[in-house]
Chain A
């Protein structure tokens, strides 16, 4: 089946720094969605992309439009409230279900 490989599995950032998370797909994907899971367990949708890039504040996501085999999430000027677990999830061409990566546990430290 479709596989989503997310990296890194854990990341510590100092406040004010930038970093990027990445998801690689073992097959061509139709769309990707990025989520943040907060301490209460709620999955909050950050971005939906079928191609190209989207930006929202200090977050920016990109989905490789040619091969459709990877996506990235960039965090600029990290803040303490960015801490949480980030998931990417992608849809293959044949169905509408999202396949999730294993997540990145992000800790932003003062």
Chain B
């Protein structure tokens, strides 16, 4: 079990460019979560999928951010027209989402996005 895999580990973009971040959840996990971590805001929830369907995107900025889960083995977070304030570590997590201990979230190592 390789755990949650996130690529790339680091990404540097220029202001106004697009950034796509990738996440491969643990095999068999039905829930995928995206979080963002900054020094100022800490760990912030962005969005959540269950069985590939979007369930809660209440943390996603309304403009420029979108997330998809086209199949059970990967999810993407896309940021259009990146701005310096988008710089953060973006973390993906997955769980069995069956209730009880099966709610335990397992995190990937994150993608550090730097917008110049």
Identify the A interface with B (CB < 8 A).
Answer: 31, 33, 35, 40-43, 45, 48, 50, 87, 89, 91, 95-103
Contacts and interface: CB of A to CB of B under 8 A. Distances in A.
Given A45-B106, A48-B103, A100 B55 contact: no
Given A96-B31, A103-B42, A45 B105 contact: yes
- Most B Cβ at <10 Å: residue of A42, A89, A97: A97
Main secondary structure of the interface of B (DSSP, over half): strand
Interface in B68-116: 89, 91, 93, 97, 100-101, 103-107, 109-110, 112
Contacts, number: 53
A100 B42 contact: yes
A41 B43 contact: no
A75 B100 CA distance: 24
Given A87-B43, A97-B45, A31 B106 contact: no
Nearest to B112: A41
* B interface, size bucket: 20 to 34
B56 interface: yes
Interface string B43-76: 1110010100001100100000000000000000
Contact of A41 (B31, B48, B89, B104): B89
Contacts of A89: 43, 105
B101 A102 contact: no
Contacts of B43: 87, 89, 100, 103
Contacts of B44: 100
Interface string B31-46: 1010100000011110
